[in-house]
Chains A and B, each alone.
Chain A
Amino acid sequence: MLSRNGLDYESLVKEDRVHISVYTNPAIFTDEMDKIFHRGWVYVGHRGEIPNPGDFRLKRIGRQPVIMVRDQQGEVHLLLNRCRHRGATVCQREQGNTRSFRCMYHGWTYLLNGDLGGVPSMDGYGEGFKREDLGLVKVPRVGEHRGFIFASLSPAGIALDAHLGRAKEEIDLFAGMSNADEVEVVSGVHKYSYQGNWKLAAENSMDGYHPSIVHASFAQALMDKITHVPTPEQQRVDRNFAAFRGNAKDLGNGHVMLDYRMRIYDPLNGDPAPEVRAVTPEGEARLNNLDRRFGADRAANMLREGGTHTFIFPNLILIGVQMRVLQPLSVDRTEVCLYPTLLKWLAPEVNAIRLRSHEAFFGSASFGGPDDSEIFERVQDGCAVELEPWQLMSRGLHRERHEDGMIVGDLSDETTQRGIWRQWKKIMMQGEVAARSMRKRGAGAVAIKRG
């Protein structure tokens, strides 16, 4: 069935393959922005990024600039960053602390909850001027799980709880079972972009087939470390990526994960791994809980190096200690932000080692991430070959099984990629009417400005 703009999603996405135009066609990108990013639930940010009253961060929902701000009462608001007068952005800094947002065109001033406060020279407006109707536009639906803030620009649709489904449990493990305010997201951001479609990073983040090839140099570094630091602790680090065992899981709704039980991330430095200990009674309880569920070794690794490996459709990835957010800029340009997290109840030296483990593999100068980005650009370049326009996603189809209502494959199977594409196709094939009305309101040019 053709969608209204002539895109035949049914024939572009098959169970075992996708057509390269899903990575290259600007019309599909525009459609994705409308249907996936401007209507569905997307991840915006975490409460821990704005711990104090007045703290704000600039974010983006699809193309649309949003201010995430905490008011004096501690409530978090998502406000569209556009003055209600003649449309200038009211917040320019990526992050900071403020008492209000003042538009520097004519001086309209907005409170932290978005309400319009001051308007210079009010006498120029007649009786019909309703200040209360002219606050910054609020994102229609905002939901939260353990401090993770999700939003939808559509006033109606599936509830966040139902959308997240099984992924909630992985968010919980990522947070070390901490409550929202125990997760600290003030350790800076690693930012990079690549010349390629945003879905390449989504697919790759949950690809258990590539590490032994793409990350051969990191595996080698793990192996080499022992010549510098020949400790028993280091002996236990898993080194052979190809021998890794585990499962690729489709959690439903496009959320997918790699479920494995081995150590991968390592600070690659000379210091011995610090003992994992809590510094608060609540932390003690959380640590005991994880110890009981996973055993002391695994629990310690989860807290030092990360507790899950999950993609939450369409733009959040939880790997290691980081929240990774995908920001599509255009059909062939994507920006990625990595937010390493600390846990308030962990001892300082454990939090420090979380950062070192993160830096070793992730970020623009690390031993891992840049090699993935290079591959994304190679794949995007490869999309120029139209004579054979398919990418295969068939690995493990013959051995997939259903467990506990989930589709489960081997760690290296493309069960995860298929899970993402199934959801993508479902969304892209539905909701024509709402998408059209969004376009009428002017969804703008194909590319958005970075930053």
Chain B
Amino acid sequence: MPVDRERVEQFLFREAQLMDEHRFDEWLALWSEPALYWVPSNRDDLDPAREVSLIYDDWVRLQLRIARLKSGFAHAQEPRSRMRRLISNIEIEDVGDWEIVTHSNFLLAELRRGKQDLFAGRTTHRLRPENGSFKLISKKVLLVNNDEPIDNLTFLI
């Protein structure tokens, strides 16, 4: 299948907006089993069976993460982060009919409790074409600062 770059961009931009605006259910609806939402800790390449990650959510933990964020008891998001992020440098790897891999950079401004932080990184998305758009199968986020103290990463990245 020829990859339609505009559709891929639309998907990534939409995902970014849903994360920025805490539209949790809509974000979760982008996903499909088997899911892996992965943010490595300390370095980009690691063996998750031997090294710790910041986020290593399978399908179940992903559902629970969203339920927690919606619960009203996730104090680290009370007050909530205000966020806007830019998605750029999008590269598309055409893997086959059933899956597309994309790499993109992001720059996120996050404001909470009077403190504004910048997060930057590179994300790999695995997407499955479905009904003219895509489903998200896995997402791996390589944070520039994954070896530095990160005070609060309880929003969607």
Contacts and interface: CB of A to CB of B under 8 A. Distances in A.
B60 A371 contact: no
B58 A190 contact: no
A397 to B, nearest CB: 28
B76 A371 contact: yes
Contact of B64 (A191, A268, A351, A352): A268
Interface in B96-147: 113, 147
Interface stretch (A54-62, A131-139, A210-218, A404-412): A210-218
A374 B78 contact: yes
A335 B149 contact: yes
Nearest to B58: A269
A188 B46 contact: yes
Contacts of A391: none
Contact of A192 (B67, B68, B151): B151
A400 interface: no
Interface in A347-374: 348-349, 351-352, 355-356, 358-360, 363-365, 367, 370-371, 373-374
A225 to B, nearest CB: 6
A92 to B, nearest CB: 14
A358 B53 CA distance: 10
Contact of A367 (B39, B58, B65, B78): B65
A371 B61 contact: no
A191 B48 contact: no
Interface size class of B (residues with CB under 8 A): 35 or more
Nearest to A356: B56
Nearest to B150: A364
Interface in A427-451: 450-451
B61 A269 contact: yes
Interface in A262-318: 267-271
Nearest to B64: A221
A358 to B, nearest CB: 6
Nearest to A375: B75
A111 interface: no
Interface size class of A (residues with CB under 8 A): 35 or more
B3 interface: no
- Among B39, B42, B152: residue with most chain A CB under 10 A: B152
Nearest to A365: B153
B123 to A, nearest CB: 15
B11 interface: no
B63 interface: yes
Interface string A210-243: 0000101110110011001100000000000000
Interface in A166-206: 186-194
A342 interface: yes
Contacts of A451: 148
A225 B67 CA distance: 10
A377 interface: yes
A355 B48 contact: yes
A229 B67 contact: no
Given A371-B74, A377-B113, A190 B60 contact: no
A214 B68 CA distance: 12
B63 A228 contact: yes
Nearest to B78: A374
Given A217-B71, A355-B51, A359-B53, A373 B151 contact: yes
Nearest to A354: B52
A340 interface: yes
B154 interface: yes
Contacts of B153: 364-365, 370
Given A228-B60, A268-B64, A187 B51 contact: yes
B76 A190 contact: no
A348 B49 contact: yes
B95 interface: no
A404 B54 CA distance: 41
A351 B147 CA distance: 22
Contact of B52 (A187, A370, A371, A374): A187
A239 to B, nearest CB: 13
Contacts of A335: 149
B86 to A, nearest CB: 21
A-B pairs, top 3 by smallest CB distance, nearest first, are A370-B76, A365-B153, A270-B60
5 contacts: A186-B50, A191-B148, A270-B59, A364-B153, A365-B150
Interface of A: 94, 186-194, 214, 216-218, 220-221, 224-225, 228-229, 267-271, 335, 340, 342, 348-349, 351-352, 355-356, 358-360, 363-365, 367, 370-371, 373-375, 377, 450-451
Given A94-B147, A216-B73, A365-B153, 8 more contacts: A186-B50, A192-B149, A355-B49, A359-B53, A359-B54, A359-B55, A371-B75, A373-B76
